[in-house]
Structure 1
Amino acid sequence: MLISLSIRDIVLIDALDLDFHAGLGVLTGETGAGKSILLDALGLALGVRADSSLVRPEAAQGIVSTCFSLSKGHPLYAYLQESGLRIETDEILIIRRVIKADGGSRAFLNDQPISVTLLREIAGYLIEVHGQHDERGLLNPRSHRLLLDEFGHIDSMPTSQAYIYWRATEKALATAQKLKEEREQDRDWLEHAVHELLAFAPQNGEEAALAEERTTLQKGARLIEDMEAIGQWLDSTEGAIALLRQAGRRLGRIAFEHPVLGEALESIDKALNEAGEASEKLGHTAMMLDGDPLRLDGIETRLFDLRALARKHRVAPDELSSFTIELKDKLDQIEAGEQGVLALSAENDAARLAYEQSAEALSQARLSAAKRFDQAVMAELPPLKMEAARFKTKIEKLESSQWSAEGFDRVEFTISTNPGADFSPLMKIASGGELSRFMLALKVVLAGEEGTTTIIFDEIDQGVGGAVASAIGERLARLSKKAQLLVITHSPQVAARADQHWLIRKHHGRPSKTKVFATRTEVKPLDKDERLEEIARMLSGTEVTDEARAQASRLLGP
Structure 2
Amino acid sequence: MLRSLDIRDMLIIDRLELSFQSGLNVLTGETGAGKSILLDSLGFVLGWRGRAELVRSGAAQGEVTAVFDLAQDHPARAVLVAAGLPVEDELILRRINTPDGRKTAYINDRRASGEMLRALSDSLVELHGQHDDKGLMDPREHQRILDDFAGLSDDLDRLSKLWRALGAAEKARDAAQIRLAAAREEEDFLRHAAQEIQAMDPQPGEDAKLDADRRLMQGAVRVGEDIAKASDALGLNGAEGQMGDAQRWLEGASGDVGDALEPPLAALATALGALSDAQAGVDRALEALSFNPSDLEDVEERLFAIRALARKHDVLPDELAAFGVEIAQKLAVLDGADADLSALDDAVAQASTRYTRAAEALRAKRIKAAAKLDKSMARELAPLRMERAVFRTLVDPAPASASGLDAVSFRVATNPGAPAGQLNKIASGGELSRFLLALKVCLTQDTSGLTLIFDEIDRGVGGATADAVGRRLAELAHEGQVLVVTHSPQVAALGGHHWRVSKRVEKGQTLSTVEGLGDGARIDEIARMLSGDRITDEARAAARALMQA
Q: TM-score, normalised by structure 1?
A: 0.64
2:141 counterpart letter in structure 1: S
Indicate yes or no: 2:41 matched with 1:67.
Answer: yes
- Bigger Cα Rg: 1
Indicate yes or no: 2:463 matched with 1:455.
Answer: no
Aligned equivalents of 2:16 and 2:274: distance in 1? 130
Which residue does 1:25 correspond to in 2?
25
Which residue does 1:498 correspond to in 2?
495
Aligned equivalents of 2:429 and 2:273: distance in 1? 134
Indicate yes or no: 2:380 matched with 1:417.
Answer: no
1:422-478 Cα shifts (integer Å, max 9, x gaps): 222333444444443333322222226799963122257624279957843543535
Q: SS where residue 410 of structure 1 aligns?
A: strand
Distance 1:363 1:264, change over 3 A: same
Contact 1:69/1:92 (CA < 8 Å) preserved in 2? no
Aligned equivalents of 1:264 and 1:445: distance in 2? 138
- Measured after TM superposition, the shift of residue 528 of structure 1 is 2.7
Distance 1:419 1:110, change over 3 A: farther
1:440 counterpart letter in structure 2: L
Aligned equivalents of 1:144 and 1:441: distance in 2? 14
Distance 1:453 1:3, change over 3 A: farther
Contact 2:35/2:485 (CA < 8 Å) preserved in 1? no
Indicate yes or no: 2:486 matched with 1:487.
Answer: yes
Which residue does 1:542 correspond to in 2?
538
Indicate yes or no: 2:298 matched with 1:326.
Answer: no
Aligned equivalents of 2:465 and 2:515: distance in 1? 25
Distance 1:85 1:349, change over 3 A: farther
Which residue does 1:56 correspond to in 2?
none
Distance 1:16 1:444, change over 3 A: same
Q: SS where residue 67 of structure 1 aligns?
A: helix
Q: SS where residue 486 of structure 2 aligns?
A: strand
Distance 1:416 1:303, change over 3 A: same
For structure 1, list consecutive stretches of 5 or more residues without a partner in the other structure. Answer: 29-33, 46-63, 95-108, 115-121, 506-510, 512-521
1:531 counterpart letter in structure 2: R
Contact 2:494/2:547 (CA < 8 Å) preserved in 1? no
2:360 counterpart letter in structure 1: E
**How do 1:85-164 residues align onto structure 2 when only pairs under 5 Å count?**
92=64, 111=99, 127-129=127-129, 135-154=133-152, 155-164=155-164
1:307 counterpart letter in structure 2: R
Distance 1:303 1:439, change over 3 A: closer
- Measured after TM superposition, the shift of residue 533 of structure 1 is 7.3
Distance 1:389 1:289, change over 3 A: closer
Aligned equivalents of 2:296 and 2:375: distance in 1? 101
Aligned equivalents of 1:84 and 1:331: distance in 2? 64
Contact 1:145/1:411 (CA < 8 Å) preserved in 2? yes
- Measured after TM superposition, the shift of residue 161 of structure 1 is 0.8
Contact 2:310/2:320 (CA < 8 Å) preserved in 1? yes
Which residue does 1:214 correspond to in 2?
214
For structure 2, list consecutive stretches of 5 or more residues without a partner in the other structure. Answer: 56-61, 67-96, 103-117, 119-124, 506-512, 531-535
Indicate yes or no: 2:402 matched with 1:405.
Answer: yes
Aligned equivalents of 1:467 and 1:192: distance in 2? 89
1:198 counterpart letter in structure 2: Q
Contact 1:255/1:261 (CA < 8 Å) preserved in 2? no
- Measured after TM superposition, the shift of residue 196 of structure 1 is 1.8
1:327-372 Cα shifts (integer Å, max 9, x gaps): 4334434545565444333322322232222111111101111111
Aligned equivalents of 1:69 and 1:276: distance in 2? 109
Aligned equivalents of 2:285 and 2:543: distance in 1? 142
- Mean alpha-carbon deviation: is it higher for 172-181 or for 281-290? 281-290
Contact 1:160/1:406 (CA < 8 Å) preserved in 2? yes
Q: SS where residue 455 of structure 1 aligns?
A: strand
Which residue does 1:301 correspond to in 2?
301
**How do 1:341-360 residues align onto structure 2 when only pairs under 5 Å count?**
341-360=341-360
2:256 counterpart letter in structure 1: P
- Mean alpha-carbon deviation: is it higher for 522-531 or for 193-202? 522-531
- Measured after TM superposition, the shift of residue 162 of structure 1 is 0.6
Contact 2:162/2:354 (CA < 8 Å) preserved in 1? yes
Which residue does 1:176 correspond to in 2?
176
1:421 counterpart letter in structure 2: A
Which residue does 1:227 correspond to in 2?
228
- Measured after TM superposition, the shift of residue 4 of structure 1 is 8.9
Q: SS where residue 458 of structure 1 aligns?
A: coil
- Measured after TM superposition, the shift of residue 24 of structure 1 is 2.7
Aligned equivalents of 1:142 and 1:178: distance in 2? 35
Distance 1:213 1:365, change over 3 A: same
1:259-284 Cα shifts (integer Å, max 9, x gaps): 3599999979989x989978995778
**How do 1:373-384 residues align onto structure 2 when only pairs under 5 Å count?**
373-384=373-384
1:103-125 Cα shifts (integer Å, max 9, x gaps): xxxxxx864689xxxxxxx9xx9
Indicate yes or no: 2:436 matched with 1:439.
Answer: yes
Equivalent pairs counted in the alignment come to 469
2:483 counterpart letter in structure 1: Q
1:162-186 Cα shifts (integer Å, max 9, x gaps): 1111122233333333334444444
Indicate yes or no: 2:507 matched with 1:526.
Answer: no
Aligned equivalents of 2:253 and 2:438: distance in 1? 155
Aligned equivalents of 2:537 and 2:397: distance in 1? 54
Tell me the percent identity: 30
Q: TM-score, normalised by structure 2?
A: 0.65
Q: SS where residue 68 of structure 1 aligns?
A: helix
Aligned equivalents of 1:436 and 1:414: distance in 2? 15
Aligned equivalents of 1:361 and 1:70: distance in 2? 39
Contact 1:460/1:489 (CA < 8 Å) preserved in 2? no
Contact 2:5/2:65 (CA < 8 Å) preserved in 1? no
Contact 1:448/1:482 (CA < 8 Å) preserved in 2? no
Contact 1:211/1:303 (CA < 8 Å) preserved in 2? yes
Distance 1:478 1:234, change over 3 A: same
- Measured after TM superposition, the shift of residue 498 of structure 1 is 1.1
- Measured after TM superposition, the shift of residue 295 of structure 1 is 1.8
Distance 1:127 1:3, change over 3 A: farther
Distance 1:261 1:366, change over 3 A: same
1:35-77 Cα shifts (integer Å, max 9, x gaps): 6x359x767x7xxxxxxxxxxxxxxxxxx99522567xx5x55
- Measured after TM superposition, the shift of residue 497 of structure 1 is 3.4
Aligned equivalents of 1:525 and 1:21: distance in 2? 10
